[in-house]
Amino acid sequence: MLSFAAGSSTPKWLAVSGRFQFGPGEQFGLRSLLAPLPGERLPDPDQAGVTVVVGIDAPLAFPARFVSLMKSENQSGYCPPEREIDNVFAYRDCERWIFGQHARKPLSATFDRLGNNATLAMCMAQALGAEGFQRVPQDAGGSDRAVIEVYPGIAKRGKKKSDRAIAPVERHLPDSVVPGTDEYDAAICAILAAVFAGKGNALELPDLVAPRAGYNPAEGWIYGLPAEYVRAWS
């Protein structure tokens, strides 16, 4: 968890995930995501003026056509595409956007091993919704508690999980995190969430790319740094 004290432009790391997995019977919610670092205390999200953005590295929605298929709505006119990324039952418009802009093909929430993480992420988003968080862009804006979908891989210098983040991102990461680990990727997610929360200038990073016109908001959006910016630092 990356935090900015009131009136400060200097980021501070307050917490990390304890296990990067959920145990049987564990209740989802903001506190289940984080474990305070030694000597630190988590801020009260109910305190006036506190903005909390959670960046989740997993799909927060299934492809709209897949949802329609599961509802037994007529898909008889569907024709298989030449490219797998164009399969509307497997990939969302935002994933095709990532593929076109960053030359990275995300895993499919419906066809790949990502399915388990995706359903957990969606359940977590619902639990956070009960705590006043809004999924962006699916829900109406204006909340100081937001849940966004991010993809740390597109902020890296290469296409491997073990690759380092681009220099403008990596310089903000804790010294203790190691490339190729879940902790490293989670720290990247926190940086992206902080940019979304309006701390891009303090971090000297550009705004995240907003949903493109004509894309289905019900499918969500993968927020990331502009592709041309990442390429310039790769």
Residue 23 tokens, joined: 């145990």
Q: According to the model, what pLDDT value does residue 209 have?
A: 97
Task: Give the predicted TM-score (pTM) of the model.
Answer: 0.90
Residue written as tokens 């007529």?
74
Q: According to the model, what pLDDT value does residue 13 have?
A: 84
CA distances from 67 to 4, 64, 225 (A): 39, 5, 29
- Mean pLDDT per 10-residue segment, the chain (234 residues): 71 68 71 71 70 93 96 92 96 97 94 87 92 90 86 96 97 92 92 94 96 92 98 96
Q: According to the model, what pLDDT value does residue 15 have?
A: 66
What span, in angstroms and rounded, lies between the C-alpha atoms of 195 and 73?
39
Q: According to the model, what pLDDT value does residue 43 have?
A: 67
Measured in degrees and rounded to the nearest 5, phi and psi for residue 122 equal: -65, -40
Q: According to the model, what pLDDT value does residue 207 have?
A: 97
When divided into structural domains, the chain yields a total of: 1
Q: According to the model, what pLDDT value does residue 112 have?
A: 83
- The residue range of the domain holding 23 is 2-233
Q: According to the model, what pLDDT value does residue 192 have?
A: 97
Residue 211: half-sphere exposure toward Cβ, Cα within 13 Å? 17
SS3 196: helix
What span, in angstroms and rounded, lies between the C-alpha atoms of 203 and 196?
11
Which amino acid appears at position 100 of this protein?
Answer: G
What span, in angstroms and rounded, lies between the C-alpha atoms of 124 and 132?
13
